[in-house]
Amino acid sequence: MNPDTHTHTGPTTGTGTRPGAAQSPGQTPSPRDPLPHQLVTALAQHRIATTDQLRAMLRPHAARQTVWAPLNAMRHKGLVGHVVLPASHGARAWYLTPEGARHTRHLPVLRGRPPYPVTAASAASLKTPHTLTTVRAHLAFATDARTRGDEHSYLDWTPETAHPIGDGQQLIADAVMHYTLHHNQHHGPHRTKLRAFIEIDRATMSSERLATKLIDYARLHTYQPQPTGRHRNPQPASPGPGWLRRYPVYPRILFILTGAPTRTLNNRIHDLQAMTREHPHVAALAREVPLGAAVLEDLETHSPRADIWTPLAGGPASSWTEL
């Protein structure tokens, strides 16, 4: 078993899932739930998404009009706004307005997730390319989960998740993914929970800067918060590193690359491998945590479970679940 997993035996449904996670294998959101409610929840979770992306998340087998009509109705009520994507024949990317965000502030499934309203279309345009690419990655995993009967819903992917790493600095993961495998063994059904930090690379930063993100993940792996104020003492605020407050085991780290020719993306993956090999703290992290990189188009073409992931610590290509 990889160090970022833990396995449950017994029926494939029942307790033990995260709040808001799908409750049965491969389940998409129930059509009995109000679709407008699901749409604003999905936009609160994912920040920005196109009409087709929202359909793939919430009603993958429905006609496009099924999702577009309530979005347009909510636009007239001032709950959502949109930007028209360039060179897209009028495709729209949707986001919550401040009024829409206010309606999601107290939803139980978004507890601890601050509202993220967009106050102007120009602000949405700046974030749209990266955010929509992140949603593409999520949908690759969600589609694969439905096909295989696993659990991964639109609430099991949390973008822009911040973690303190000391010296007043934060590591902001592009997303944190929760995924539950359903599989059978000789003594019955199993549910194996996996977690991953997701880093999306569109080749818009230098390869060296991308690779240094591994150093921040190594810092997070060892960072222990210290008490503040008059009760300061030399002992840690809690036993063990700070990430234990959120995760029972440290999530694996997956880099998903796109936006450049194959040769360029391969060079960037090689630089990630070099950082893993040469930096002592990252090398120590790699001995305990699976690290991998893959190309987004390969996830969409072959599925994330295909042997398309390059282990950053070395070795043959594998599935993300077997890194």
What is the reported pTM? 0.86
pLDDT, tens digit (0-9, with 9 covering 90-100), for 169-180: 999 999 999 999
Average pLDDT over residues 304-315: 97
pLDDT tens per residue across span 61-76: 999 999 999 999 999 9
List of residues 6+ apart from 156 with CB closer than 8 A: 18, 20, 21, 22, 177, 178, 179
pLDDT band at 232 (very low <50, low <70, confident <90, very high): low
| Confidence (pLDDT) at 278 | 97
pLDDT tens for 80-132 read 999 998 877 888 999 999 999 888 887 888 877 766 667 666 666 778 899 99
pLDDT at 25: 40
DSSP β-bridge partners for residue 190: 9, 183
Which whole number is the average pLDDT over 307-322?
97
CB 67 within 8 A of CB 51: yes
Residue 275 contacts by C-beta under 8 Å, 6 or more apart in sequence?
A: 211, 212, 214, 215, 282, 312
Confidence band, pLDDT 50/70/90 cuts, at residue 17: very low
The confidence band for 234, taking pLDDT boundaries of 50, 70 and 90, is low
pLDDT at 103: 84
pLDDT of residue 9: 39
- The angle formed by the CA atoms of residues 211, 214 and 220, to the nearest 5 degrees, is 155
Tokens of 301: 């073409």
How confident is the model at residue 8, as a pLDDT? 46
pLDDT, tens digit, for every residue of 118-128? 766 666 677 88
Looking at residue 230, what is its pLDDT? 55
pLDDT in tens, 235-283: 545 578 999 999 999 999 999 999 999 999 999 999 999 999 999 999 9
Q: Cα(141)–Cα(155) distance, rounded to whole angstroms?
A: 13
Which two structure tokens, joined as six digits, stand for 187? 């003594």
Q: How far apart are CA 96 and CA 42, in angstroms?
A: 10
